[in-house]
Amino acid sequence: MNLFSFVSGGQRVQQSKNRGAAKVLLIVDKPNWAYAEIARELIKANKNDDLTLDYISIKEMQHNLKRLAKNYDLIFPLGWQLVGRLSGDRLSPVYRFLDPKRVITGIHSHHAWDNLESTPAKNASPPGALVDYLAKFKGVNAVSNRLVNIFTESGVPMVNYTPNGVNVDRFRPCREFGEEGSLTVGYAVNEAHDKRKGISEYLIPACAMSGIETNAVFWRNNRIDPAAMPDFYNSIDVYLCASLSEGFSLSVLEASACGRPVVSTRVGGCEELISDGENGFLVNHSVEEIQKRLRDLLTDRELLISMGAKNREIICLQWSWESRATAWLDFIKQGLR
């Protein structure tokens, strides 16, 4: 079977048929997961006649990767952990046939390497084995300034800043909200990441107050319909993030694009997106402080609505994929030089 029979539910995904174009293979983990969403947006945004982007899910194509890789000028596993296995102080390549000098890769999170040591107030240092591994690649990108700084200071040369974006046509406001009644607070989390996401310790207790309703999406093993997410964000008044660490949360971007204010701990891309008091609130890792900001929005509906409108405006101006894909495509083209 050919490459594309496995991609995106059997759909062929290819940007250009220009025979002279450089060919780049984007590797994601699962169809309809975060990496796949990024890959699809980059393919859609690519207007370069001299560049072809394809993507595959490594979960479905790993046994054919050696054969497929020969057809491409550059391989781009979106996350380094798709091709490297970190165990304690040792890191082993999963696919030894991949030449690091024609591979670029990315850093999207802290939790893949930090043993839950990162906090909003503390940057854990990456293990030396990971730093040495990343330094071998043709290029490395990261989705937040915090990750760029951590890995640059640790010795990975020239980490490119490529923050995530959001599809502002798919994720948009389609329901008036917040004018009266209870305040509906939402969050979307993987239950397996309870401690890092602060579900039991912060999210649930913070929402347990009079006048607050909770609408949450929990999932395991990719059991969620991505098509339902815009409706979910439009069903809430405020999006809540209480994480110990984040790279750049796609859920926060999506909720913001739907015109919902965000209350978040000071983590990763949330620090870059949220201007405290303007389009949301940045809070300390404290149930009491999260509750205080939720109470502010519960009692001041004009503030709630204006924050949501401002968040949508900021997203459209600065954080759409139309704006953010340029840095990603420049990073890819840099890897082809």
Question: Do 200 and 154 fall into the same domain?
Answer: no
How many of the other CB atoms lie within 10 Å of CB of 176?
Answer: 9
Residue 65 lies in a domain: yes
Determine the Cα–Cα distance for residues 23 and 53; give it in Å rounded to an integer: 6
pTM assigned to the model: 0.92
Q: Per residue in 199-256, pLDDT tens?
A: 999 999 999 988 999 999 877 655 567 889 999 999 999 999 999 999 999 999 999 9
Residue 176 lies in a domain: no
Specify the number of domains making up the chain.
2
Question: Do 266 and 191 fall into the same domain?
Answer: yes
214 near 206, Cβ under 8 Å? no
Residue 84 lies in a domain: yes
Q: What CATH number is given to the structural domain containing 64? A: 3.40.50
Question: Do 154 and 122 fall into the same domain?
Answer: yes
Q: Per residue in 144-171, pLDDT tens?
A: 999 999 999 999 999 999 999 999 999 9
Show the domain range for 9.
3-165+321-335
Question: Do 153 and 194 fall into the same domain?
Answer: no
Question: Do 137 and 23 fall into the same domain?
Answer: yes
pLDDT of residue 221: 54
Residue 170 lies in a domain: no
User: Could you tell me the CA-to-CA distances from 291 to 12, 87, 259, 301 in Å, in that order?
Assistant: 47, 38, 21, 16
Q: Of the candidates 241, 246, 262, 261, which has an alpha carbon nearest to the alpha carbon of residue 306?
A: 261
User: Could you tell me the CA-to-CA distances from 28 to 33, 138, 278, 289 in Å, in that order?
Assistant: 8, 18, 35, 37
Question: Do 161 and 226 fall into the same domain?
Answer: no
Beta bridge partners of 25: 54, 75
Determine the Cα–Cα distance for residues 129 and 328; give it in Å rounded to an integer: 26
Question: Do 139 and 205 fall into the same domain?
Answer: no
Residue 238 lies in a domain: yes
Read out DSSP for 300-328?
A: -HHHHHHHHHHHHHHIIIIIBHHHHHHHH
Residue 172 lies in a domain: no
Question: Do 7 and 126 fall into the same domain?
Answer: yes
User: Could you tell me the CA-to-CA distances from 45 to 27, 187, 289, 337 in Å, in that order?
Assistant: 17, 29, 40, 21
Hey, which bits of 145-251 come out as E strands?
159-161, 183-190, 212-219, 238-241
b vs e for 60-98, b when ≥16 Cβ sit within 10 Å of the residue's Cβ?
ebeeebeebbeebebbbbbbbbbbbebeeeebeeebeeb
Q: Of the candidates 67, 58, 72, 63, which has an alpha carbon nearest to the alpha carbon of residue 24?
A: 72
Q: Quick one: DSSP state of residue 126?
A: P
Q: What CATH number is given to the structural domain containing 282? A: 3.40.50.2000
CA 309 and chain centroid, separation: 22
Phi-psi region of 277 (alpha: psi -120 to 50; beta: other; left: phi over 0): left
Encoded amino acid at 101, one letter: K
The residues of the chain scoring below 50 in pLDDT are 1-16
Residue 175 lies in a domain: no
Which token pair is 279? Answer: 């389009």
Question: Do 151 and 189 fall into the same domain?
Answer: no
Residue listed under structure tokens 């620090």: 271
Question: Do 133 and 209 fall into the same domain?
Answer: no
Question: Do 75 and 88 fall into the same domain?
Answer: yes
pLDDT of residue 89: 86
* 3-state class (DSSP) for residue 298: helix
Question: Do 142 and 201 fall into the same domain?
Answer: no
Residue 125 lies in a domain: yes
